[in-house]
Chain A
Amino acid sequence: MVTSVTSLGRNGLYDWLIQRVSAVVIALYVIGMVGYLICNSDLDYATWSAFMGSVPMRIANTLMLFSVAAHTWIGLWSVTTDYLTGLTFGKAATSVRLVVQMGIALLLLVYILWGLLMIWGGA
């Protein structure tokens, strides 16, 4: 058993499942959004604003936001643990990996908070 405190769920199955579920959410959102834009090619600001301000769309946007953040974290966590290791960085590997991972985590946290503000802030 290999332990890791920085993976999203500290468990391979959990991360794997979240990766798949978030991928489905992202795919459905993108397909739905592309469909909406094709069906409403003469979109104006008022229609778009009303559409994005509706409760179902706010929920969909929130789901999308969390899915993208979780998907990104799991994916980039894999990338950092693949390439930022002792093979490439020697003794400095742990520090480099930790700094990069914390940078990504904080950035994603900012995106989530900023996104929530945009979706639910009513601006």
Chain B
Amino acid sequence: MKVSIYRYNPDTDREPTMKEYEVDTQGKDLMVLDILALVKEQDESLSYRRSCREGVCGSDGMNINGKNGLACITPLSEVAPGVKEGKKPLVLRPLPGLPVIRDLVVDMGVFYQQYEKVQPYLQNQSPAPAIERLQSPEERAKLDGLYECILCACCSTSCPSFWWNPEKFLGPAALLQSYRFLADSRDDATEERLSRLDDPFSLFRCHGIMNCVSVCPKGLNPTRAIGHIRSMLLERGV
């Protein structure tokens, strides 16, 4: 099958190019990461990030035939019709909207800065109890669909609002984490958290187009979380 991969080395290349490779899959429905390993055997100058190869670490987020996803858990048969059969090429590009360090490796700096802004840790000013802060099963259930995020950046880099204003709009990943702590019964910094989201950019740049939902490899729903935060802001502000 044909594989077309975005190649760019800022030290030597004037501009990025797409390079074609021929890979023999022996008809198997391999994962995209396996294809990258086969390409790497042919051309060891190819750079990409990977670690756990099972959709847990979030290192190998990339744009696969136009849709962001994790290479390690995306089988060829799910990329697009005809790719597995070799009728269509597999096209791999870095996550859109972030500066490219080399080939498929992007600079995640701005993504992490936005994550840091939502203060993604439990804040509680009351004295710590002797053992632990208890939650009812119902309170704990509110965190389902929020805590599972692996910060692969597939969602934020598929969001046009994040492309245009990556330094001002927090992006779906950070907002999902923001709601994860707003929804936590043990966190008492709700007012401070909400007061930092009230401006026209941080949260309200979300226009609800749900690209984030369609690409999340963990099946999470940042748009719904953003809607919950908006409701909290509405209750607080009206």
A interface residues (Cβ-Cβ under 8 A, vs B): 1-4, 7, 10-17, 78, 81-83, 85, 87
Q: Contact flags (1/0) for B175-203 with A, using CB distance below 8 Å?
A: 00000000000000000000111111111
Select one of A3, A4, A12, A85 contacting B203, CB under 8 A.
A12
Chain B interface size band reads 20 to 34
**Whole-angstrom distance between the alpha carbons of A21 and B202 in the complex?**
22
Secondary structure at the A interface, as helix, strand, loop or mixed, is helix
B159 to chain A, nearest CB (A): 12
Question: In B190-228, which residues have CB < 8 Å from any A CB?
Answer: 195-205, 207
A2–B233 contact, CB under 8 A?
A: no
Question: In B151-185, which residues have CB < 8 Å from any A CB?
Answer: 160-161, 164-165, 168
A11–B198 contact, CB under 8 A?
A: yes
Instruction: Say if the beta carbon of B237 comes within 8 Å of chain A.
Output: yes
Known: A1-B198, A1-B199. A15 touches B204 (CB 8 A): yes
Closest to B167 in A: A2
Select one of A13, A14, A15, A81 contacting B165, CB under 8 A.
A81
Select one of B164, B198, B230 contacting A82, CB under 8 A.
B164
Closest to A16 in B: B204
B233 to chain A, nearest CB (A): 5
A2–B234 contact, CB under 8 A?
A: no
**Whole-angstrom distance between the alpha carbons of A9 and B198 in the complex?**
11
**Whole-angstrom distance between the alpha carbons of A1 and B196 in the complex?**
5
A11–B202 contact, CB under 8 A?
A: no
A12–B202 contact, CB under 8 A?
A: yes
The number of residue pairs between A and B whose CB atoms lie closer than 8 Å in the complex comes to 54
**Whole-angstrom distance between the alpha carbons of A78 and B205 in the complex?**
8
Given contacts A13-B198, A78-B205, 14 further A-B contacts (CB under 8 A): A1-B196, A2-B199, A2-B202, A3-B199, A4-B199, A4-B200, A7-B200, A12-B199, A12-B200, A12-B201, A12-B204, A15-B200, A82-B164, A83-B164
Select one of A12, A78, A83, A85 contacting B198, CB under 8 A.
A12
A41 to chain B, nearest CB (A): 39
**Whole-angstrom distance between the alpha carbons of A85 and B165 in the complex?**
8
**Whole-angstrom distance between the alpha carbons of A2 and B169 in the complex?**
9
Closest to A14 in B: B237
B211 to chain A, nearest CB (A): 15
B83 to chain A, nearest CB (A): 32
B164–A11 contact, CB under 8 A?
A: no
**Whole-angstrom distance between the alpha carbons of A17 and B30 in the complex?**
48
A16–B165 contact, CB under 8 A?
A: no
With a cutoff of 8 Å between Cβ atoms, the chain B residues found around residue A13 in the complex are 198, 204, 230, 233-234, 237
10 closest A-B pairs (Cβ-Cβ)? A12-B204, A2-B201, A82-B164, A7-B200, A12-B200, A2-B168, A2-B199, A13-B237, A13-B233, A1-B196
Select one of B161, B195, B202, B230 contacting A16, CB under 8 A.
B230
Known: A81-B165, A82-B165. A4 touches B198 (CB 8 A): no
With a cutoff of 8 Å between Cβ atoms, the chain B residues found around residue A16 in the complex are 204, 230
With a cutoff of 8 Å between Cβ atoms, the chain B residues found around residue A87 in the complex are 164
